[in-house]
Amino acid sequence: MPPRQRRSYTAEYKVEAAHRVIDSGRTISEVARELGIDPGMLSVWVTHEQRRVAAAEAHGDTPLEPAERAELQRLRRQVAELEKDNQFLVKASAYFAATRKNRPGSN
């Protein structure tokens, strides 16, 4: 039997999963079951996020509200999509510039 591959999670996913517990007041077990992840792992994420929020508050910073976090995620996805579009357009323009340059009778 081949060994199971470890799943990796982005930092954003971990924060969102932790806030599902913190913001909703639901148990770690409930949220872990809903997300299909190990409750012990989610517990570590919740503890880490609670410490991060407490440290931010100690320095006078206010943590992001759930709506702000959602908007930040949406904007990050949008920026990533726009960067992909931009890369495509750069490649396409280079391609068309090269084909136009190589066309007979164009100098």
In a domain, 51, yes or no: yes
* Tokens (6 digits) for 11: 């930092």
Supply the pLDDT for residue 101: 78
The pLDDT mean for the chain works out to 87
Phi and psi at residue 39, in whole multiples of 5°? -60, -35
* Tokens (6 digits) for 102: 């190589």
**pTM for the model:** 0.59
Pairwise CA distance, residues 9 & 90, whole Å: 31
Instruction: Kindly state whether residues 72 and 34 are assigned to the same domain.
Output: no
pLDDT at 54 over 80: yes
As a whole number, mean pLDDT of residues 79-106 equals: 87
Q: Which residues contact 106 (CB under 8 A, 6 or more apart)?
A: 100
In a domain, 56, yes or no: yes
Supply the pLDDT for residue 2: 73
Q: Could you tell me if residue 11 is left (phi over 0), alpha (psi between -120 and 50 degrees) or otherwise beta?
A: alpha
Supply the pLDDT for residue 83: 96
Supply the pLDDT for residue 105: 63
Instruction: Kindly state whether residues 44 and 70 are assigned to the same domain.
Output: no
Instruction: Kindly state whether residues 52 and 85 are assigned to the same domain.
Output: no
Provide the domain limits for residue 94: 65-107
